[in-house]
Structure 1
């Protein structure tokens, strides 16, 4: 049969929940999974929940996905936190991913980064009813930042490795690989 991709329906919720648990089991985090079918119904946008004509660009998300907090002192902008919303299948909850946090050098060591993190924590609680998580990445060599993050309650995720496909050429290559799989599947089904 030809593989097909579609938006999930409410009727899929038990299979989705089972697959999330299987993934949690594989990753040795069985007890961390909170994604019950009921929680998924509350937190996942299923195709039969909304009329398709209300989804921008025929199913594409809005291109305006980033948000930013700016910290000012008087008239001067002292720092900022740029973030976007993400989703945890294990928690079955939205969260916040911090893309960039910056405090200008002349304003450092005054607790301003802590204030920005407080605003991010508040935003995370607001969108997740207190159940989500705030995540970010840090370069390994940035020991000062890593120590700061630990002081404010951050946990290093040593078992996780960031992976990305970036740029038009690499994304196009990935699409071509998928096209080859589809073509091969079509030939095998004849």
Structure 2
């Protein structure tokens, strides 16, 4: 397939079923489908009613071929917001044509326009194709940092 022009648009409530599909497709790729508990109703509440995250859709010839879900975080050291990329997904039929790089470039443009101090994300350690891709863009792994997470029952117990 010849690379075709890629455009972007911000998702709307009408895109919730598509966003859900992309989330599940990504979870299948990451071998984590059993961990997806999100529903369309939750996405509507958190993405559109509470506006806690944003979604851009990558579009080729009128077809959505991928998405990026992101939100703002804050760096006390920089004294400004950053963009945290939660999910990036490109349909397998459209990989290898530079669309993933274009999505990251678009997110970088958003970060610069919003005067953010950084763009960051995590990647599974086994995902060598993605790691190699990120390194090729000049991304630096934060080897001195370990992500810690509290969720589910443990989160509820800590809150009590």
TM-score after normalising by structure 1: 0.57
Q: Which of these residues, 95, 111, 119, is aligned with residue 108 of structure 1?
A: 95
Partner of 1:81: 68
**TM-fit CA distance, 1:141:** 0.4
Instruction: Give yes or no for the alignment of 1:170 onto 2:157.
Output: no
**TM-fit CA distance, 1:133:** 0.2
Which structure would you say has the larger Rg?
Answer: 1
SS of 1:94's equivalent in the other structure is strand
**TM-fit CA distance, 1:109:** 0.4
SS of 2:102's equivalent in the other structure is helix
**TM-fit CA distance, 1:163:** 0.8
Partner of 2:140: 155
4+ runs deviating over 3 angstroms: none
SS of 2:50's equivalent in the other structure is coil
SS of 1:148's equivalent in the other structure is helix
Taking the aligned partners of 1:172 and 1:166, their CA distance within structure 2 comes to: 8
After superposition, give the CA deviation of every residue in 1:24-53 in whole Å (9 maximum; x if it has no partner). xxxxxxxxxxxxxxxxxxxxxxxxxxxxxx
Taking the aligned partners of 1:164 and 1:79, their CA distance within structure 2 comes to: 27
Taking the aligned partners of 1:66 and 1:81, their CA distance within structure 2 comes to: 10
Q: Which runs of 5+ in 1 are unaligned?
A: 1-61, 177-190
SS of 1:124's equivalent in the other structure is helix
Partner of 1:123: 110
Taking the aligned partners of 1:88 and 1:123, their CA distance within structure 2 comes to: 17
Q: How many pairs are equivalent?
A: 112
Larger helix share, 1 or 2: 1
**TM-fit CA distance, 1:63:** 2.9
Taking the aligned partners of 2:97 and 2:71, their CA distance within structure 1 comes to: 26
CA RMSD in angstroms, aligned pairs only:
1.3
- Map 1:63-82 to 2 at 5 A: 63-82=50-69
Instruction: Give yes or no for the alignment of 1:91 onto 2:75.
Output: no
